[in-house]
Amino acid sequence: MMKEYDFVFIYEVKNRELDSVLLMKCELERRGYSVYLVETWERDIIRTNPVIANVAVCFALYNDDIFRFVRQFVKNCNKFVNLQWEQINTNGTEISQENDSNDAAGFYGVAKKAVHISWGQYNYWKLTQKYGIDAKLVRICGNVNLDFLRDEFRSLYLSRDEMEHRYSMEGYESLYLFISSFSYADLPETILDQDIYKNQSFDVKKHCELSYYSRIKILEWFERELRYHPKTLIIYRPHPAEKNSDVLKNLEKQYSNFRVYGDLSIRQWILIADKIYMWWSTSIAEVFLANKGCEILRPMSLPYVNELQIYKEARFIKTFEEFDRTFDSKSEFPINSINVERFYNIDKNTPSFIRVCNVLEEVLGDDNYSISELEYLAKPYPYWRFHNFKRRVMSLALGNDYVFRFLRRILGQRIIKSGKTIETYKREYDYAMEMISKNRYIDDEVSEKTKVIKLILERYYK
């Protein structure tokens, strides 16, 4: 008989979400509740049975399609909470939302009946006023990720000396960090043709092009400095959804003072860095909370619709000459603090994870949060069992080189479904498998992090 859990957390991007999810999990378990974690990439490709839970806490809930997607991971559940891990939008998204178009980041259908966690006042206003979501269903709790920069949580991180020893970084006088947002730079054409990208409020293919060439230019800037600053180590932190790039591998081989590290949280790297660079990242909020300056590198201008709202009136580095002048100088924060506080509610007394867990506890105990309109969505059974069987067969076919070669020889470029060939399916499968390897959680890793978080919670409540 399957165990029934009070809460199931459904997460998508490990580096973005897992630490915060584990913090909320530990807090809820401290209060006496049972909690289970589900990672979407592996479960979507290599299906397993859904989890029985009373409340599903989701990485996103924008529309009926995403609602159907998350529902496949839970069974007998009619209470849903949306953590909405992406609450900083582009200007184009905001414009499309004002025009009431069916944008990818808008809220439609049954999703409006879920409980929504808002980081700050602006998102609260948008959900309640623009989309008409009942104000009782939208709660301002701040961003749990930022809790990890509070003084109580600093013991979670390795010291500068420990990081230098762990990654063989001894001997360098300065450590510079580049926070990459180039997840669009190498996206396969077949992925871009999916509906989720077609419905964006800006030209995604154009953004991919800007990402690709901006990365080339920024790496050229770094390379010129690497030659003349052998005692400065530049850490390139790839976006969690960024594909491994041959360009980065070649730079690592050519320059010993250039490294690519995708592990550990972005906060860990921010805290030990002497200087921070970025291109188009919402991690600027973490930099703000860490009380550090940074530089925003923009060798190519972004169209207004592509720009992030939080970057309003920001200071940009646009030329190599500007970059070179600031390379050895102290950086100030490039954005007005008022603009940051507009999107993030930061309570010095009560951490965000406490506020979110209070909401989750309330949802669990109150049947008024149950969503009766779930009948409107497709039933998970028997469709999902059949879909599960199809995906398993497809995984076996695409994951085995001999089987794939055999199918490619038989099918060639013949269209199988919706304009897709066997080669198209293979590229999508390879991309998904790479995402699985980056985002699945390892039991030992979770166990170690959980031990530390529990110790921090013990100190917090003393």
State which amino acid sits at residue 443.
D
For the domain made up of 4-143+346-381+439-460, the CATH class stated in words is: alpha beta
Region 98-112: mean pLDDT is 72
How confident is the model at residue 391, as a pLDDT? 61
68 pLDDT higher than 90? no
Asked if the model's pLDDT at residue 69 lies above 90, the reply is: no
Per the prediction, the chain carries an average pLDDT of: 87
**What percent of the chain is modeled with pLDDT above 90?**
58
Question: What is the CATH code for 157-338?
Answer: 3.40.50.2000
Higher-pLDDT residue of 445 and 336 is: 336
Give the integer Cα–Cα distance in Å for 123 and 144: 15
Residue from 54, 108, 106 nearest 81 by CA: 54
Average pLDDT for residues 60-80, to the nearest whole number? Answer: 91
- Mean pLDDT computed over 379-387: 50
Sequence-ordered list of residues with C-beta below 8 angstroms from that of 399, at least 6 positions apart, any chain? 429, 433
Model confidence band, residue 144 (pLDDT cutoffs 50, 70, 90)? very high
Mean predicted confidence (pLDDT) in 327-337:
94
pLDDT single digits (tens) 19-41 = 999 999 999 999 999 999 998 87
Check residue 147 and give its pLDDT: 96
The number of beta carbons lying within 10 Å of the beta carbon of residue 83 is 25
Greater confidence (362 vs 155) lies with 362
* pLDDT confidence tier of residue 390, bands split at 50, 70 and 90: low
Tokens standing for 171? 């001997």
C-alpha 201/C-alpha 199 separation (Å) is 6
Q: How sure is the predictor about 453, in pLDDT bands with cuts at 50, 70 and 90? A: very high
| Range(s) of the chain covered by CATH 3.40.50.2000 | 157-338
Tokens representing residue 58 in the block: 């989701």
Task: Give the model's pLDDT for residue 94.
Answer: 76
Whether residue 410 is predicted with pLDDT greater than 80 in this model: the reply is no
Least confident of 30-44, 72-86, 147-161, 406-420: 406-420
pLDDT band at 451 (very low <50, low <70, confident <90, very high): very high
Q: How confident is the model at residue 171 (pLDDT cuts 50, 70, 90)?
A: very high
pLDDT-derived band at 462 (thresholds 50, 70, 90) equals confident
Q: At residue 381, does pLDDT exceed 50?
A: no
pLDDT for 15 = 78
Residue identified by tokens 């921070």 is 276
pLDDT of residue 388: 56
Cis, bond preceding 303 (omega within 30 deg of 0)? no
Looking at 60-69, 103-112, 155-164, which range is the least confident one?
103-112
At 380, is the pLDDT very low, low, confident or very high (cuts 50, 70, 90)?
A: low
Whole-number pLDDT of residue 367 = 96
Percent of all residues in the chain with a pLDDT value above 70, rounded to a whole number:
83
Across residues 217-225, what is the average pLDDT? 97
Span 116-137, average pLDDT: 95
More confident residue, 451 or 389: 451
| pLDDT number for residue 116 | 98
pLDDT of the residue at 26: 98
The pLDDT score that the predictor gives to residue 201 is 52
